[in-house]
């Protein structure tokens, strides 16, 4: 038998959809002369969501003639668009953040196999990915400590898809961090020599799977929308760390966490050029409008460091949770 393998490239191999919306992932079959049409009984379609490796792949939908089956969390949420004989496009309804990632469409008829891949990004405007390292310095967290570090900042360890979407949104960070699948990666939008090479392409630099107990890195955390009020506490004088904690308590609040600051900055456009204590003992400030003496070149959460907690050089950012 003579079989054919056809790898199709799509005009738009990256699509974006908003949470709770519907999206169509394209897969159009190009047949050679005399080949069977999509409606023929022998045609089989399989959609798969690709993981970081094959063991993490998820079955999405299979179809052969009138027999169609969706799987797992995709059950009853996906179907083939099937607008004509050569259309194997997948419709995903009620899109969620977990749907973000790469998908593969395979169309098999015994004579000609078609494979096409497409990446889906999910826009929610209610979450932010941020890098985190502990007070003891960079590259000091094993995976389990990384999980706890994110939880301590009202966040969780980011997934590959969440970091990928953050990179698409401009996140550039030259320190490797844990992701939820046990891989270690970092996002680069502006290639340069210390970060994989000046001539390398922009993208996610991947160190692969690492030992969760012995390998030490930073971590990328994922925080959702604020459920409360993040603010700068106006005080007549600068505070030590302990005074900062107490000042927030006296205002019926708590000292803000790093996740609170990143969420307020990214999702609400919070902007203030005053360095303030946060709960982990770090000092930072959020800039949404770059300007001289604050953050002249880019919008960013500026990191001062983990200073001596007895220093009276800084103010404080507080957080008041919703009641």
Phi-psi map region of 262: left, alpha, beta (phi>0 left; psi -120 to 50 alpha): alpha
List, in order, residues 6 or more apart from 193 with CB less than 8 Å away: none
Can you give the C-alpha Rg of the chain in angstroms? 24
Q: Are 96 and 80 in contact (CB under 8 A)?
A: no
**Degrees (nearest 5) of the Cα angle 111, 112, 118?**
155
Q: Judge if 298 and 283 occupy the same domain.
A: yes
- Is pLDDT of 247 > 80? yes
Cβ-count burial of 280 within 10 angstroms (0-12 exposed, 13-18 middle, 19+ buried)? middle
Classified as helix, coil or strand, 190 is: coil
Question: Which of 223, 252, 280 is at the close of a domain?
Answer: 223
Q: Judge if 55 and 91 occupy the same domain.
A: yes
Q: Which residue in the block uniquely carries the two structure tokens 């079959």? A: 29
Reference 42, options 107, 105, 86; nearest CA is 107
CA–CA separation, 302 and 160 (whole Å): 24
pLDDT of 110 reads: 65
Phi-psi map region of 65: left, alpha, beta (phi>0 left; psi -120 to 50 alpha): left
The predicted model gives 32-50 an average pLDDT of 66
Q: Judge if 117 and 34 occupy the same domain.
A: yes
Q: Judge if 194 and 84 occupy the same domain.
A: no
Q: Judge if 138 and 209 occupy the same domain.
A: yes
- Of 51-55, 175-179, 189-193, 224-228, the one with minimum mean pLDDT is 51-55
What percent of the chain clears pLDDT 70, i.e. is strictly above it? 89
Q: Judge if 75 and 40 occupy the same domain.
A: yes
CA–CA separation, 164 and 186 (whole Å): 9
The predicted model gives 71-94 an average pLDDT of 90
Q: What is the pLDDT of residues 186-225, one digit of tens each?
A: 999 999 999 988 889 999 999 999 999 999 999 999 998 7
Cβ-count burial of 5 within 10 angstroms (0-12 exposed, 13-18 middle, 19+ buried)? exposed
Across the chain, what does the average pLDDT equal? Answer: 87
Q: Judge if 214 and 280 occupy the same domain.
A: no
**CA 186 from centre of chain:** 11
Range of the domain at 298: 226-321
Question: Which of 187, 204, 223 is at the close of a domain?
Answer: 223
pLDDT of 35 reads: 44
List, in order, residues 6 or more apart from 87 with CB less than 8 Å away: 27, 28, 29, 38, 80, 81
CATH code assigned at 235: 3.10.100.10
Which residues share a beta bridge with 67? 64
Q: Judge if 8 and 115 occupy the same domain.
A: yes
The 3-class SS string of 13-32 reads CEEEEECCCCEEECCECCCC
Q: What tokens appear for 199 in the block?
A: 């001539």
Q: Judge if 206 and 104 occupy the same domain.
A: no
- Is pLDDT of 4 > 60? no
Q: Judge if 148 and 252 occupy the same domain.
A: no
Between strands 315-321 and 228-232, the pairing is antiparallel
- Going by pLDDT thresholds of 50, 70 and 90, the confidence category of residue 32 is low
pLDDT of 83 reads: 74
Question: Which of 123, 155, 176 is at the close of a domain?
Answer: 123
Q: Are 67 and 43 in contact (CB under 8 A)?
A: no
pLDDT of 6 reads: 38
CA–CA separation, 274 and 256 (whole Å): 14
Q: Judge if 97 and 150 occupy the same domain.
A: no
In the chain, how many domains are there?
Answer: 3
pLDDT of 34 reads: 43
Q: Judge if 261 and 191 occupy the same domain.
A: no
CA–CA separation, 60 and 187 (whole Å): 28
User: Computed from CA positions of residues 271, 273, 274, 277, in that sequence, does the dihedral angle turn out positive or negative?
Assistant: positive
Q: What is the pLDDT of residues 156-177, one digit of tens each?
A: 999 998 999 899 888 999 999 9
DSSP code at position 174: -
């Amino acid at each position: 038998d003579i079989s054919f393998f056809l790898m199709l490239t799509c005009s738009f191999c990256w699509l974006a959809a908003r949470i709770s919306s519907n999206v169509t992932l394209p897969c159009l079959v190009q047949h050679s002369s005399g080949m069977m049409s999509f409606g023929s009984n022998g045609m089989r379609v399989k959609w798969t969501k690709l993981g970081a490796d094959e063991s993490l792949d998820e079955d999405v939908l299979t179809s052969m003639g009138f027999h169609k089956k969706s799987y797992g969390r995709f059950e009853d949420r996906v179907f083939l668009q099937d607008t004509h004989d050569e259309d194997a496009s997948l419709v995903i309804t009620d899109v969620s953040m977990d749907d973000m990632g790469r998908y593969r469409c395979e169309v098999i008829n015994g004579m000609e196999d078609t494979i096409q891949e497409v990446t889906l990004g999910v826009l929610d405007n209610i979450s932010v990915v941020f890098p985190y390292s502990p007070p003891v310095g960079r590259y000091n967290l094993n995976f389990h400590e990384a999980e706890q570090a994110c939880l301590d900042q009202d966040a969780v360890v980011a997934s590959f898809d969440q970091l990928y979407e953050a990179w698409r949104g401009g996140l550039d960070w030259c320190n490797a961090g844990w992701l939820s699948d046990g891989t270690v990666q970092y996002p680069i939008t502006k290639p340069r020599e210390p970060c994989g090479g000046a001539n390398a392409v922009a993208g996610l630099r991947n160190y692969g799977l690492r030992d969760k107990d012995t390998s030490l890195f930073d971590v990328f955390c994922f925080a959702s929308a604020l459920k409360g009020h993040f603010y700068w506490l106006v005080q007549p004088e600068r505070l030590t760390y302990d005074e900062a904690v107490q000042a927030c308590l006296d205002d019926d609040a708590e000292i803000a966490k790093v996740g609170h600051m990143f969420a307020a900055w990214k999702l609400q456009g919070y902007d203030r050029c005053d360095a303030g204590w946060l709960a982990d003992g770090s000092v930072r400030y959020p800039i949404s409008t770059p300007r001289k003496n604050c953050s002249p070149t880019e919008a960013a959460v500026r990191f001062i460091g983990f200073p001596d907690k007895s220093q009276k050089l800084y103010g404080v950012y507080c957080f008041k949770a919703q009641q």
